[in-house]
Structure 1
């Protein structure tokens, strides 16, 4: 039941985002065509319950325009918006594919190996400010580096792979690691603090993917003919 409720929240968010703004009647008509309605309308009380749950769970506000009685999603800051868009898009695709068992042979997906095993522990490390310890298997060496202790600063996805960037405690250097090259990852009991002057967006603003370079940024103008 909890999973079904989560899917309903995602449906409501995704529907309002897709259309921009909708009245209760318009939401109801779309709801009755969804796989969650059983052909029945969405009761007003249930709609408000879902609306409150979405605000609490996702920090997404579904507001109502008093002049048109249309519901819309309040805009947040650009970075938070991009993260939530990614999460909601992933959840929406998951909901869609769960209802597509009969055409599974006609859907081909790209594997994202790093998301399965170590993404959750890395997120916990970021949330709790607890260092991670893990073995690392670089692409360029056969033998792994043992017992790396990392204080994660941020996560980044690039070309379907997750990477974590933070301070390598032993070397006292900021480094980036691919989650799918880790093994034996655990959280340590100690607590760390991200430096106040560290700006994650500024750190990779002028970088390509996960290649971070402290060299001088060059602005290049390209001239072409018609």
Structure 2
């Protein structure tokens, strides 16, 4: 991992639990496990890295002059920082991987499969493209699917893509977006590890406004527990 990224992750973790002066931060860095090259931290580099942390993670490393020029983390209380925490967690795990190359004292769960599809699926979501792939059901049945992806979710060590399955016209064999079809019945939540031969159909197919509003993580999984949404099951309050 890039030494700069190691420092970003390390500094955020350090200042999450303490307010420190630059001198204290520099001393901590000398002994840090992340500093495997024993680099010395100078002020110019430190301030440049502060700016990078702000631009990349949206976290401000603030200086409190009234507290002896101590640095601390300033987060926006309004922003949802789930994505930021995911990024930081990924960085820490990557850094940990470097440290564990020559150790056998950590036991890990099996990582999620087919994460190589994540970039293409996110690209399709951003560009409003369709996805075409082969899908194998839990019963072993294979089918060709064209999906209009809306968002992805990571749940219990599996990646899922949630979107609208496109109907096919019997006469033309093309994806059909007829308004007569109840699109909610065509929403699918599909795990990456059952997908193969994924391709992007590089033509814009935007979701209708109502479906776009419905197919957000917050709205789709409202009042749900688990990964699958059951449309015909009424919401039940549990005291």
**Same fold by TM (over 0.5)?**
yes
In the alignment, the residues of structure 1 paired with residue 19 and residue 187 of structure 2 have an alpha-carbon distance, to the nearest angstrom, of 44
CA shift in 2, pair 1:40/1:90, >3 Å = closer
Residue 159 (1) aligns with residue 118 (2): no
Query: Normalising by the residue count of structure 2, what TM-score does the alignment of the two structures yield?
Result: 0.79
* Unaligned segments of structure 1, at least 5 residues: 222-226
Residue 21 (1) aligns with residue 39 (2): no
Q: In the alignment, which residue of structure 2 is the partner of 1:132?
A: 131
Q: In the alignment, which residue of structure 1 is the partner of 2:204?
A: 191
In the alignment, the residues of structure 2 paired with residue 12 and residue 212 of structure 1 have an alpha-carbon distance, to the nearest angstrom, of 40
After superposition, the C-alpha distances for 1:169-188 in whole angstroms (9 at most, x for unaligned) are 22742210101110011122
Q: In the alignment, which residue of structure 1 is the partner of 2:190?
A: 177
Q: In the alignment, which residue of structure 1 is the partner of 2:71?
A: 71
In the alignment, the residues of structure 2 paired with residue 24 and residue 49 of structure 1 have an alpha-carbon distance, to the nearest angstrom, of 13
In the alignment, the residues of structure 2 paired with residue 73 and residue 169 of structure 1 have an alpha-carbon distance, to the nearest angstrom, of 46
Residue 149 (1) aligns with residue 135 (2): no
Kept in 1, the 8 Å contact 2:115–2:159? The answer is no
Number of matched pairs: 216
In the alignment, the residues of structure 2 paired with residue 124 and residue 45 of structure 1 have an alpha-carbon distance, to the nearest angstrom, of 37
Written as runs of structure 1 = structure 2, the 5 A alignment for 1:1-226 is 3-17=2-16, 19-34=17-32, 35-36=34-35, 38-68=37-67, 69-76=69-76, 80-103=80-103, 105-140=104-139, 142-146=140-144, 148-170=145-167, 172=183, 173-194=186-207, 195=209, 196-198=212-214, 199-214=216-231, 215-221=233-239
Shift of 1:167: 1.6
Pick the structure with greater CA Rg. Answer: 2
CA RMSD of aligned residues (A): 2.4
Runs (4+) of structure 1 exceeding 6 A deviation are none
Shift of 1:40: 4.7
In the alignment, the residues of structure 1 paired with residue 86 and residue 92 of structure 2 have an alpha-carbon distance, to the nearest angstrom, of 10
Shift of 1:20: 4.8
SS in 2 for 1:197: helix
Kept in 2, the 8 Å contact 1:32–1:38? The answer is no
* Unaligned segments of structure 2, at least 5 residues: 168-180
